[in-house]
Amino acid sequence: MIRYDLRCRQGHEFDSWFSSSSGFESLRAAGHLSCPICGGTEIDKALMAPALGRAAGAADAAAAVAPPPEAPTPEAGAITPAQRAALIAELRARIEASSDYVGLSFATEARRMHEGDIPGRPIHGEAHPDEARQLIEDGIPVAPLPFVPTRRRN
Protein backbone atom coordinates (compact mmCIF):
# COMPACT_ATOMS: atom_id res chain seq x y z
CA MET A 1 0.00 0.00 0.00
CA ILE A 2 1.11 3.54 -0.68
CA ARG A 3 -0.19 6.76 0.85
CA TYR A 4 -0.40 9.89 -1.27
CA ASP A 5 -1.00 13.46 -0.20
CA LEU A 6 -3.64 14.74 -2.61
CA ARG A 7 -5.04 18.13 -3.63
CA CYS A 8 -8.23 19.05 -5.46
CA ARG A 9 -8.54 21.97 -7.92
CA GLN A 10 -9.96 24.11 -5.09
CA GLY A 11 -6.71 23.64 -3.11
CA HIS A 12 -8.10 21.31 -0.43
CA GLU A 13 -5.46 18.85 0.76
CA PHE A 14 -6.13 15.33 2.03
CA ASP A 15 -4.53 11.90 1.85
CA SER A 16 -5.53 8.41 0.83
CA TRP A 17 -4.09 4.92 0.48
CA PHE A 18 -3.70 3.05 -2.82
CA SER A 19 -2.46 -0.40 -3.80
CA SER A 20 0.13 1.14 -6.13
CA SER A 21 0.89 4.19 -8.24
CA SER A 22 -0.96 2.60 -11.15
CA GLY A 23 -3.91 1.91 -8.83
CA PHE A 24 -4.08 5.63 -8.05
CA GLU A 25 -3.88 6.53 -11.75
CA SER A 26 -6.62 4.10 -12.77
CA LEU A 27 -8.98 5.30 -10.01
CA ARG A 28 -8.31 8.93 -10.94
CA ALA A 29 -8.83 8.27 -14.67
CA ALA A 30 -12.14 6.50 -13.93
CA GLY A 31 -13.34 9.47 -11.81
CA HIS A 32 -13.51 7.39 -8.61
CA LEU A 33 -11.52 9.92 -6.53
CA SER A 34 -13.17 12.92 -4.96
CA CYS A 35 -12.26 15.61 -2.46
CA PRO A 36 -13.79 14.84 0.97
CA ILE A 37 -14.28 18.58 1.52
CA CYS A 38 -15.85 19.90 -1.70
CA GLY A 39 -16.55 16.70 -3.67
CA GLY A 40 -14.40 17.81 -6.63
CA THR A 41 -13.11 14.99 -8.83
CA GLU A 42 -10.09 16.75 -10.37
CA ILE A 43 -7.48 15.31 -8.02
CA ASP A 44 -3.67 15.52 -8.26
CA LYS A 45 -0.86 14.28 -6.07
CA ALA A 46 0.49 16.99 -3.78
CA LEU A 47 4.17 17.43 -3.10
CA MET A 48 5.16 15.16 -0.25
CA ALA A 49 8.31 14.22 1.61
CA PRO A 50 9.35 10.58 1.83
CA ALA A 51 8.77 8.79 5.13
CA LEU A 52 12.18 7.61 6.26
CA GLY A 53 13.03 5.66 9.39
CA ARG A 54 15.17 7.42 11.96
CA ALA A 55 17.50 6.26 14.69
CA ALA A 56 16.42 6.77 18.30
CA GLY A 57 16.73 10.42 19.27
CA ALA A 58 17.00 11.63 15.67
CA ALA A 59 13.31 12.55 15.56
CA ASP A 60 13.73 14.94 18.50
CA ALA A 61 16.76 16.58 16.86
CA ALA A 62 14.97 16.94 13.51
CA ALA A 63 11.92 18.45 15.20
CA ALA A 64 14.09 21.00 16.98
CA VAL A 65 15.60 22.21 13.67
CA ALA A 66 12.54 21.99 11.43
CA PRO A 67 10.62 25.22 10.99
CA PRO A 68 6.96 25.16 12.05
CA PRO A 69 4.52 24.53 9.20
CA GLU A 70 2.91 27.62 7.74
CA ALA A 71 -0.66 28.22 8.81
CA PRO A 72 -3.17 27.85 5.98
CA THR A 73 -4.69 31.08 4.80
CA PRO A 74 -8.39 31.53 4.01
CA GLU A 75 -7.40 33.34 0.79
CA ALA A 76 -5.78 30.14 -0.49
CA GLY A 77 -8.99 28.17 0.09
CA ALA A 78 -7.55 26.37 3.12
CA ILE A 79 -9.69 25.51 6.10
CA THR A 80 -8.97 25.74 9.80
CA PRO A 81 -8.56 22.63 11.98
CA ALA A 82 -11.93 23.40 13.60
CA GLN A 83 -13.60 23.60 10.18
CA ARG A 84 -11.92 20.32 9.16
CA ALA A 85 -13.17 18.62 12.35
CA ALA A 86 -16.70 19.91 11.69
CA LEU A 87 -16.61 18.64 8.10
CA ILE A 88 -15.40 15.22 9.24
CA ALA A 89 -18.14 15.09 11.89
CA GLU A 90 -20.72 15.97 9.21
CA LEU A 91 -19.30 13.30 6.90
CA ARG A 92 -19.47 10.73 9.74
CA ALA A 93 -23.10 11.59 10.44
CA ARG A 94 -24.06 11.31 6.76
CA ILE A 95 -22.24 7.99 6.32
CA GLU A 96 -23.67 6.49 9.50
CA ALA A 97 -27.18 7.63 8.56
CA SER A 98 -27.06 6.41 4.97
CA SER A 99 -25.14 3.12 5.19
CA ASP A 100 -25.03 -0.08 7.20
CA TYR A 101 -22.14 -0.72 9.59
CA VAL A 102 -20.90 -4.26 8.88
CA GLY A 103 -17.91 -4.25 11.24
CA LEU A 104 -15.04 -6.60 10.50
CA SER A 105 -17.02 -8.34 7.76
CA PHE A 106 -16.62 -5.30 5.49
CA ALA A 107 -14.24 -6.99 3.02
CA THR A 108 -16.47 -10.07 2.72
CA GLU A 109 -19.65 -8.01 2.26
CA ALA A 110 -18.04 -5.66 -0.29
CA ARG A 111 -16.74 -8.61 -2.31
CA ARG A 112 -20.11 -10.43 -2.22
CA MET A 113 -21.91 -7.29 -3.44
CA HIS A 114 -19.33 -6.67 -6.17
CA GLU A 115 -19.68 -10.26 -7.42
CA GLY A 116 -23.48 -10.05 -7.37
CA ASP A 117 -23.94 -12.69 -4.66
CA ILE A 118 -25.99 -10.27 -2.55
CA PRO A 119 -27.84 -7.05 -3.44
CA GLY A 120 -25.72 -3.91 -3.40
CA ARG A 121 -26.23 -1.38 -0.63
CA PRO A 122 -24.13 1.33 1.01
CA ILE A 123 -21.93 -0.14 3.74
CA HIS A 124 -19.07 0.93 5.96
CA GLY A 125 -16.94 -1.09 8.32
CA GLU A 126 -13.43 -2.23 9.08
CA ALA A 127 -10.90 -4.23 7.10
CA HIS A 128 -7.38 -5.37 7.79
CA PRO A 129 -4.82 -3.67 5.51
CA ASP A 130 -4.25 -6.91 3.56
CA GLU A 131 -8.01 -7.28 2.95
CA ALA A 132 -8.31 -3.66 1.78
CA ARG A 133 -5.30 -4.07 -0.50
CA GLN A 134 -6.82 -7.18 -2.08
CA LEU A 135 -10.17 -5.44 -2.65
CA ILE A 136 -8.40 -2.58 -4.44
CA GLU A 137 -6.24 -4.93 -6.49
CA ASP A 138 -9.38 -6.83 -7.53
CA GLY A 139 -10.98 -3.60 -8.76
CA ILE A 140 -13.57 -3.38 -5.99
CA PRO A 141 -14.09 0.33 -5.25
CA VAL A 142 -13.39 1.04 -1.59
CA ALA A 143 -11.98 4.07 0.22
CA PRO A 144 -10.66 4.69 3.72
CA LEU A 145 -12.76 6.93 5.93
CA PRO A 146 -11.13 9.82 7.83
CA PHE A 147 -12.54 8.75 11.18
CA VAL A 148 -12.53 5.80 13.57
CA PRO A 149 -15.74 3.73 13.57
CA THR A 150 -18.13 4.67 16.39
CA ARG A 151 -17.74 1.21 17.91
CA ARG A 152 -14.00 1.82 18.41
CA ARG A 153 -14.15 5.31 19.97
CA ASN A 154 -13.68 5.85 23.70
The answer to whether residue 151 scores a pLDDT higher than 80 is no
* Digit-coded pLDDT (tens) for 96-142: 888 899 989 999 999 999 999 999 899 999 998 899 889 988 889 88
- Between 13-17, 111-115, 116-120, 147-151, the lowest mean confidence (pLDDT) is in 147-151
Q: What string of H, E and C letters represents the secondary structure of the chain?
A: CEEEEEEECCCCEEEEEECCHHHHHHHHHCCCCCCCCCCCCCEEECCCCCCCCCCCCHHHHHHHHCCCCCCCCHHHCCCCHHHHHHHHHHHHHHHHHHCEECHHHHHHHHHHHHCCCCCCCCEECCCCHHHHHHHHHCCCCCCCCCCCCHHHCC
Handedness of CA 19, 22, 28, 30 (dihedral sign): negative
Q: 0.75 exceeded by the pTM?
A: no
* Digit-coded pLDDT (tens) for 35-86: 888 888 888 887 765 555 444 444 444 444 444 455 455 555 677 888 888 8
Q: Domain ranges for the chain, please list them.
A: 1-48, 79-154
Taking alpha carbons only, the member of 15, 17, 18 closest to residue 137 is 18
* Digit-coded pLDDT (tens) for 21-36: 888 888 888 888 888 8
Q: How far is CA 16 from the centre of its chain?
A: 4
What pLDDT is stored for residue 109 in this prediction? 95
